[in-house]
Structure 1
Amino acid sequence: MAKDYSSLTNDVLEKVGGPDNVIGLFHCATRLRFRLKDKTKIDAEGIKSVPGVLGTVDDANGIQVVIGNDVKNAYIAIIEEHPEIAENAGGTVEDGERQQAETNPVKRLLNMLSAIVGPAIPLIMCSGLVSALLVVLTRWGGLSPESSTYAILNMAGTGGLYFLPVFVAYTSAKRFGCDIMTSVFLGALLISPALISLTEAGEFVDLFGLPVKTGNYTSTLIPSILTIWAYSHVEKLVDRFVPDAVKFVFRPLVSIFIMLPVMLCVTAPLGNYVGTLLNDAMAAINGVAPWASVLVIGCLAPLLVLTGMHLALIPLVMTLFATVGYDNMLFVAFIGLNFSQFGVALACLFKSKNPNLKALSLSCAITAFFAGVTEPTLYGICVRMKRPLVATWITCIVNAIFCAIFSVKVFQFGAPSFFTMPIFLSPDGSMGNFYFAIAAAVLSIAVAFISTWVLGFDDSVYGESKAEA
């Protein structure tokens, strides 16, 4: 039976304070994300009781409502039935600033990273999968590295990270409320071949006598974020002094002339320096104890996803891909999390006699195994019944220990799942890492399934209660 998205979204809107309380709305892979004028109007428990809602996550500027894979349909239902929300999507800059001033600085940072990095992740993952496919085609498909087909696929495979400063400039502009086209222009300048070629002239060149540190900003994240943050303030300053009659042309012109030295002398080098520090810190940890990073993140993986804090680690992961060429912590740890949710859902599917849980478990199992999307299982099953969450934690720790012992690495950006296993193929042609990754996935499924079965669960929360499993 098809979901009644109109009823679902209207119930949710009522419990977030009504359409008039919504100043912004967007969605990620599984969640509706509301920005609200007044958070005190939220009825979180009421939202969780709405049929079709899997759970909620607190947000500095509102609330995130977990819907699942069909979140886009719920989003469309709201936009179509409430044009006033569509018109005010993103809210006003003043409201956003007011709300941010009232929230915890850590939450502000995490929400900022989520808003900036989140929209770019699916495209970067697709690009990484093209690179993984290219490895498969050259290794077993007979594709020649000298062919034009290889060159074109390689262009698509490396493009996701190469053009990262441009993607981030766009999402940063939306987040900071400044002109999008000028922001994208600044992001594109960071990866201009003309700027990169200046590295041949030495470590520093000059711009009107100001020292410009040369560098290659392709595949970087932080330089672009800092640049657009600075531009958002420059744009406001320029707005005050440029007459309205000539703003159409002179506002971007004056802004760019100001931002060129700011970007090339301050924000881009500073962002690059921060990225280098992060990479050096990881290199130091890996040099002393290569197992430590994946073990720490593995133990925290469920908490990171439940709070959205895993997005805060994306800049570090991207730095690792751009420098050493692999990630040995976040996505490796997420072998345990992603495949554990398949094991948990599978155990619930076979053990429970509750038809509502069985239907949910089947959907969650498919989503986790084939797409690596864990929120439906985490919020719809683990959080609601508690003991499957313990099984998830056990699995993540076991996987982290296994991956630490065998030094498992991810060579392409992507969330572990059945279809994305080629991200573990080493570019040097060796197969050991790939086999260990498969073993880690199988181990995670088995541990999660057995732990969930042994610990049991109370499926009465789904209605039509049976005896406790």
Structure 2
Amino acid sequence: MAKNYNALADDIVKGLGGADNITKIFHCATRVRTQLLSMDRADLDALKRNPDILGVVESAGGVQVVVGNDVAKVYDIIINKFNIKENKAESEKLNAPAGDKTEKQGILSMFLNVLSAIIGPAIPLIMCSGLISAILVIMTKLGLSTEGTTYTIIKMFGNAALYFLPVFLAYTSAKKFGCDIMMSVFFGVVFISPTLIGFTSLGTPVHLFGLPVKAVDYSSTVIPVIFTIWVFKYVERFVEKIVPSAIKFVFKPLLCVIIMMPVMLCVTGPVGSYLGDALLAVMGAVNSAAPWATVLVIGSLAPLLVLTGMHLALIPLVMTMFSTVGYDNMLFTAFIGMNFSQFGVALACLFKTKNKNLRTLASSCAITSFLAGVTEPTLYGICVRMKRPLIATWIACVANAVFCAIFSVKVFNFGAPSFFTMPIFMNPDGSMNNFYFAVAAVVITIAVSFAATWILGFDDSVYGEETAAS
């Protein structure tokens, strides 16, 4: 039975406390993500009882409603039907008192929510560029000359998203922090200016008005630009207050740029760069001492990381690894287990259950996780609801982590593991061993998750029909 998207949109808005209780709303691949004026007005239990909603996740000051692959349709209806507009003043007023639920979630939850809002919109484009780079490896194996302009142009597209990452993140950071978008993008562009990058090859100290400027290539970095735009938010507020309205059109951006020039080049940029260097140093030390440890730990914790959104905190480190050592041997390698286990779980449910609702859901989830690496529909719609498939997921993730740790499987281009993104495991040097090991890891993950789900069984009565598998 087809979903009634209008009714689902109504139920979501009602469960969130009404349109006037929603201050921010956007969506990712499967979730409608919101910020609320007051959590007390939301009825999360009603949302969780809705059969068309796969899951509900509380975030800092808001709620994420897991809808699935049709999230864009539901989101468009909500936006057009309810004309939701942000109410910053009311949001600050209602979220300020001590004891509010948003405060209880802590700094980590708030950090992850901000990171998700900033990095999330850029991830599909980064994955697209990564896949182009991976396909280019295949094309060279099929005879494409690396000396021709065709190779150069395709490589340009494959590298573009990561290289210009500070510009993309400046834009999304500006939207998240509520500051001027064009000026924020301007600061992102400055970070990848050929002149600034050229300072790295001078070999002599660089100064601005006597202040030291760290000569660093900020392309492909994450932390420096986010930190910079966060500080710019307060600079812009200060300038807004002191510049007269009659000359604000010209002198507001001028004064902002003058203030931010030393701030971004001498403070926020270098601090963000040092933080990235520190993370990379720790990662390098671990990889040198025990290269198997990171994938084993992250793989074993993968279901928990996704459920809590903590995997997003690892994205900056992964970006740094791609731009320095050229590969990732922890996050995306571990997520072979997470992504393909959801295919195995959904497939086992599809074959074992007699519940029509679960069978319909499982077929959709299996296709989504296998072809696109999108796990939320299976994770929230099946694993969390029936519990035992979540145990099967964890078993498969551990099995994959052990295998990848033993055979040192690596990912050479940014991308979530799926059928269509398997070229990301191809080594640019032309060797195929890493790719073969990755394929073996996929097969092991699917087999283990399918078998574990089948053996552990599940109670499918939660899907509204009497017939249940055991």
- Please classify the TM superposition score into its range, dividing by the shorter chain length: over 0.9
Shift in Å, 1:209: 2.0
1:423 aligns with 2:424: yes
> Hey, what's the Cα distance between the residues in 1 that align with 2:419 and 2:366?
12
> Hey, what's the Cα distance between the residues in 1 that align with 2:412 and 2:121?
21
Asked if structure 1 preserves the Cα contact closer than 8 Å seen for 2:340 and 2:442, the reply is yes
- 2:194 matched to which residue of 1? 193
C-alpha distance after superposition, 1:336-358 (max 9, x if no partner): 01000000000000000111100
- 1:438 matched to which residue of 2? 439
> Hey, what's the Cα distance between the residues in 2 that align with 1:200 and 1:402?
41
C-alpha distance after superposition, 1:46-73 (max 9, x if no partner): 1011231001111112100000011000
- 1:153 matched to which residue of 2? 154
- 1:125 matched to which residue of 2? 127
Shift in Å, 1:94: 7.1
- Counting only pairs closer than 5 Å after superposition, residues 200-219 of structure 1 correspond to structure 2 as 200-219=201-220
C-alpha distance after superposition, 1:383-402 (max 9, x if no partner): 00000000000000010000
C-alpha distance after superposition, 1:363-409 (max 9, x if no partner): 00000000000000000000000000000000000100000000000
Shift in Å, 1:99: 3.6
- 1:45 matched to which residue of 2? 45
- 1:290 matched to which residue of 2? 291
- 2:362 matched to which residue of 1? 361
> Hey, what's the Cα distance between the residues in 1 that align with 2:92 and 2:303?
29
> Hey, what's the Cα distance between the residues in 1 that align with 2:223 and 2:403?
32
- Could you say what secondary structure the match of 2:58 adopts? strand
> Hey, what's the Cα distance between the residues in 2 that align with 1:60 and 1:203?
45
- 1:138 matched to which residue of 2? 140
Q: Structure 2: which 5+ runs fail to align? A: 97-101
Asked if structure 2 preserves the Cα contact closer than 8 Å seen for 1:9 and 1:78, the reply is yes
> Hey, what's the Cα distance between the residues in 2 that align with 1:260 and 1:96?
30
AA aligned to 2:88 is T
343-352 vs 224-233, which deviates more? 224-233
Change (3 A) 1:229 1:268: same
- 2:16 matched to which residue of 1? 16
Q: CA RMSD in A?
A: 1.3
Shift in Å, 1:95: 2.4
- Counting only pairs closer than 5 Å after superposition, residues 37-436 of structure 1 correspond to structure 2 as 37-83=37-83, 85=84, 87-88=85-86, 91-92=87-88, 95=91, 99=95, 102=103, 103-140=105-142, 142-436=143-437
> Hey, what's the Cα distance between the residues in 1 that align with 2:274 and 2:93?
28
Asked if structure 2 preserves the Cα contact closer than 8 Å seen for 1:294 and 1:333, the reply is yes
Shift in Å, 1:96: 5.5
- Could you say what secondary structure the match of 1:51 adopts? coil
Shift in Å, 1:456: 0.3
Asked if structure 2 preserves the Cα contact closer than 8 Å seen for 1:32 and 1:75, the reply is yes
AA aligned to 2:118 is I
AA aligned to 1:150 is Y
Change (3 A) 1:175 1:199: same
AA aligned to 1:107 is S
Asked if structure 1 preserves the Cα contact closer than 8 Å seen for 2:352 and 2:469, the reply is no
Shift in Å, 1:202: 2.7
- Could you say what secondary structure the match of 2:333 adopts? helix
Q: Structure 1: which 5+ runs fail to align? A: none
Asked if structure 2 preserves the Cα contact closer than 8 Å seen for 1:39 and 1:62, the reply is yes
Asked if structure 2 preserves the Cα contact closer than 8 Å seen for 1:370 and 1:417, the reply is yes
Shift in Å, 1:98: 6.7
AA aligned to 2:37 is K
Query: Runs in 1 of length 4+ with deviation above 6 angstroms?
Result: none
Asked if structure 2 preserves the Cα contact closer than 8 Å seen for 1:203 and 1:213, the reply is no
Shift in Å, 1:464: 1.4
**TM-score normalised by the chain length of structure 1:** 0.97
Asked if structure 2 preserves the Cα contact closer than 8 Å seen for 1:335 and 1:399, the reply is yes
Shift in Å, 1:97: 8.8
AA aligned to 1:36 is L
Change (3 A) 1:203 1:326: farther
C-alpha distance after superposition, 1:154-207 (max 9, x if no partner): 011001110011111111111111100000000000000011112233352121
Shift in Å, 1:93: 6.9
> Hey, what's the Cα distance between the residues in 2 that align with 1:40 and 1:158?
46
- 1:29 matched to which residue of 2? 29
- Could you say what secondary structure the match of 2:374 adopts? coil
AA aligned to 1:3 is K
> Hey, what's the Cα distance between the residues in 1 that align with 2:260 and 2:53?
45
Asked if structure 1 preserves the Cα contact closer than 8 Å seen for 2:354 and 2:469, the reply is no
C-alpha distance after superposition, 1:208-253 (max 9, x if no partner): 2222121111111111011111111111111111111111111111
Asked if structure 2 preserves the Cα contact closer than 8 Å seen for 1:345 and 1:365, the reply is yes
> Hey, what's the Cα distance between the residues in 2 that align with 1:303 and 1:420?
24
- Could you say what secondary structure the match of 2:32 adopts? strand
- Could you say what secondary structure the match of 1:415 adopts? coil
AA aligned to 2:115 is L
AA aligned to 1:138 is T
Asked if structure 2 preserves the Cα contact closer than 8 Å seen for 1:8 and 1:51, the reply is no
Asked if structure 2 preserves the Cα contact closer than 8 Å seen for 1:425 and 1:434, the reply is yes
> Hey, what's the Cα distance between the residues in 2 that align with 1:93 and 1:447?
52
Instruction: Among all aligned residue pairs of Structure 1 and Structure 2, give the percentage whose two residues are the same amino acid.
Output: 63
Asked if structure 1 preserves the Cα contact closer than 8 Å seen for 2:286 and 2:293, the reply is yes
Shift in Å, 1:149: 1.1
AA aligned to 2:13 is L
